Structure 1
């Protein structure tokens, strides 16, 4: 099962640093540059929940071609078995081109999350990690640099990938308290 997500457009600019504190106790800030231009890219990504590995790609627009490119990478990353893609109801996910591609690749099925239930998509938490690893505190001159940063961050995150579990982990047991009571 894969949980794909897309973001964009990512425009070449200076991104804010990751949240944190400076050595003298102040919040880290950076001057942000805002620009609107034609040089932008869309980042597509998919998370395999079972082991936490991800696949990313960049496209110049948010359309069916970028989505099909991501689906092709997901298929190559998972050579055997059925693949379920959990996604939202974006029109580029249900276009004629995508439906034709899915008809030729029978082992891949799309499962759509209900409207107004984006919290069900586990990839949103992963996307926060990728944005921090790829963009935080960086300055990009063009879309090629953004694509390179995304691929580097994906490789780094895949080296320490762990399975994703939906929900909050259970609280730790308080062994020291029990030991103290038993020793009394």
Structure 2
């Protein structure tokens, strides 16, 4: 089976250690990918911003917006070694769309094994997905323990994505959400950098002047 073997039979602490080892010491020739779904993102439209009063004060108005009936899910996969992101929008979160997304991930990484770090969602571990993975042996799932979403670096990328694509935006329908997703992903990939696990070393403080006191 393409599910990662070394995690079987280990406790929660052992699973955490194994995932961190994939970040710090990945297998030779393998690609580490963090995958997750964001949503549902609901189309919404805001009223025009209020103007200014004659005396220079902003006119206050009640917060009001309308929501559309369609829901959109954003699939995302972060390649750890260079920070490159793959996204896809879908009207639902199920095994069919997840398999389509894995196919995009596999096409973007044509060489070597692909370790996909993700949560143990039903669509990720369903019979349909496991059957599909039998025909794609290069993809190996690594499921994070329950309550340890901080191990998935995709969660941190979603924070950057929300600010770039969704914050304060009006969407009339799923097509506009898809357009904003593709545009934001392209812009973020142009300045992508490797994601390194762990807290960076604080910079060394250089003293411009050194005083010597003589008693």
For this structure pair, what is the TM-score category when the shorter chain's length is used for normalisation?
Answer: 0.7 to 0.9
- 1:12 maps to 43
| Alignment of 1:157 onto 2:194 | no
Using the TM superposition, give the Cα deviation of residue 182 of structure 1 relative to its aligned residue in structure 2, in angstroms.
7.4
Q: Which of 90, 98, 107 lines up with 2:121 in the alignment? A: 90
- Point out 4+ residue stretches in structure 1 off by more than 4 angstroms: none
Structure 1 unaligned blocks of 5 or more: 16-29
Aligned twin of 2:82? 51
Structure ID, larger Rg? 2
SS in 1 for 2:37: strand
* Residue 111, structure 1, aligned to residue 127, structure 2: no
Aligned in 2, Cα 1:49/1:14: closer, same or farther, shift over 3 Å? farther
Equivalent residue for 1:134, pick from 143, 157, 165: 165
2:177 is matched with which residue? 146
1:180 equivalent in structure 2: 209
* TM-score of the two chains, using structure 1 as the length reference: 0.85
| SS of equivalent to 2:123 | helix
Number of matched residues?
169
Q: Secondary structure at the match of 1:57?
A: strand
Gaps of 5+ in 2: 1-31, 47-61
Indicate how the Cα distance of structure 1 residues 67 and 174 shifts in structure 2: closer, same or farther if over 3 A, else same. same
Q: Deviation of residue 167 (structure 1)?
A: 2.6
Give the secondary structure class of the aligned counterpart of 2:76.
strand
Change (3 A) 1:112 1:32: farther
Contact 1:47–1:123 (Cα < 8 Å) also in 2: yes
